[in-house]
Amino acid sequence: MTPALLMAALVALGLCAYGVLAGADFGGGILDALARGPRRDAQRDAIARAMGPVWEANHVWLIFVIVLLFTGFPRAFYALVEALFVPLHLALVGITLRGGAFVFRAYGPPGPTSLRRWGRVFGIASVVTPVLLGMCLGAVSSGHIRVSPDGERIDGAGAWHSPLALVIGLFALSLCAYLAAVFLTVETDGEVRDDFRRHALEVGTVVVALSAALIPWVFVAAPQLGAGLLSARALPVLLVGALAALASGYGLYRRRFRLARAATVVQVTCLLSGWALAQLPYLIYPDVTLAGSAAPAATLTAVLWTVPPGLALLLPSLWWLFRVFKSAP
């Protein structure tokens, strides 16, 4: 495996971790905004207890991805931030507003007006941000971001708000809500657990419907991505993800919630990994390849040597964070 390919694999690994962990937190905000009925407050309290101690820590994986991209693939990073300047910055604003609103709603001045105001900001930011991030992924694969051979001229007008990118954004939104609902079935009990189980089954139906619409559309709007998804490197991973999706639905139906949670993690990981494998050898189709945008070998080697000790510090720290705050009192 070349240093560039190994670096790309680490980027994909970070993307999968962010997709699962931050995706579930975004989904918690979506479910918070959609909470209705006599147990609305109980649902929101359960979401706050699940998210409260750890939600901002999940963004460490986004930072991990960004750092590896701009050090390992500077040409691709420059093209992405240039072409996707608007959605990426809107997503950053959404992440900031979401975190601020979550804190201000919990610790701000008491009263229904303050709760409604910050709850509305939290819900809107939780909905908009994953849509924007999904649209960015769609733009990367669409072929609408064009980069000149010298890397100086970048044309990405319309790439991030094309119909395909918008549907991928909606798919990301529904997948985040599904992740959160499944995770919350493990962390709750009684009638509130039944509420989240119902949410998971309903949102899971939306995920399946969007998948059924998206798959044929990809082959029309981005045929190179469709061919990559059917390649020998990506298809087995995606099939495992499809089986995991079935196992997740089965776990929900049979009330085997820990099985559903584990299967959902595998489902999302395989989906993002399969997409990354389908992209090869491109980082941005059709003008930016892994080999063509990689940093010098000395830079790649230096960065790769720093990752293991960094992860040796990060992973135990995250494990301890979850252990402390997720353990029963």
pLDDT digits (tens, 9 = 90+) for 182-216: 999 998 888 999 999 999 999 999 999 999 999 99
What lies within 8 Å, CB to CB, of 27 at 6+ separation is 126, 130, 175, 176, 177, 178, 179, 180, 181, 183
Residue 255 exposure: Cα atoms within 13 Å on the Cβ side: 6
- When pLDDT is averaged across residues 168-175 and rounded to a whole number, the result is 96
Tell me what the mean pLDDT of segment 95-105 comes to.
86
pLDDT band at 119 (very low <50, low <70, confident <90, very high): confident
- What's the average model confidence in pLDDT over 233-242? 97
Asked whether the beta carbons of 72 and 300 are under 8 A apart, the reply is yes
Cα separation of 134 and 223, whole Å? 19
Direct distance between the N- and C-terminal alpha carbons of the chain, in angstroms, rounded to an integer: 46
Predicted local confidence at residue 302, as pLDDT: 96
Structure-block tokens of residue 313: 């510090």
Q: What does DSSP assign to residue 178?
A: H
Structure tokens at 76: 């691709």
The residues with which 288 forms a beta bridge, in sequence order, are: 284
Burial of 285 (0-12, 13-18, 19+ CB in 10 A): buried
Residue-wise pLDDT for 138-165, tens only, equals 999 988 898 888 777 788 778 898 899 9
Task: Tell me what pLDDT residue 83 has.
Answer: 92
pLDDT at 53 over 60: no
Give the pLDDT confidence score for residue 312 in this predicted structure.
96
Contacting residues for 47 by C-beta, under 8 A, at least 6 apart: 28, 29, 31, 32, 35, 180, 184
Q: Which of 265, 172, 252, 248 is nearest to 211 (CA)?
A: 172
pLDDT of 55 above 80: no
Look at residue 54 in the predicted model and tell me its pLDDT.
62
Q: Which CATH superfamily is domain 3-307 in?
A: Formate dehydrogenase/DMSO reductase domain (1.20.1630.10)
Q: Mean pLDDT, to the nearest integer, of 270-280? A: 96
Residue 262, pLDDT above cutoff 80: yes
Question: For the chain, give me the number of helices (H) and strands (E)?
Answer: 13, 4
Higher-scoring residue by pLDDT: 190, 108: 190
Mean pLDDT of 261-286: 96
Say which residue, 286 or 111, is predicted with more confidence.
Answer: 286
Q: Given pLDDT bands bounded at 50, 70 and 90, which one contains residue 124? A: very high
10 Å CB burial of residue 61 (0-12, 13-18, 19+) is buried
Distances (CA, A) of 49 to 75, 115, 151, 244, 324: 42, 16, 47, 27, 13
* Cβ–Cβ under 8 Å, residues 210 and 55: no
- Mean residue pLDDT of the chain comes to 91
Query: Which DSSP letter does residue 108 get?
Result: S
The sign one gets for the Cα dihedral 176, 182, 186, 192 is: positive
Q: Place 85 in a pLDDT band, splitting at 50, 70 and 90.
A: very high
pLDDT at residue 279, as a whole number: 96
Determine the average pLDDT of the residues in 27-37.
88
- pLDDT tops 60 at residue 329: no
d(CA 94, CA 125): 5
Residue 309 pLDDT level (bands cut at 50, 70, 90): very high
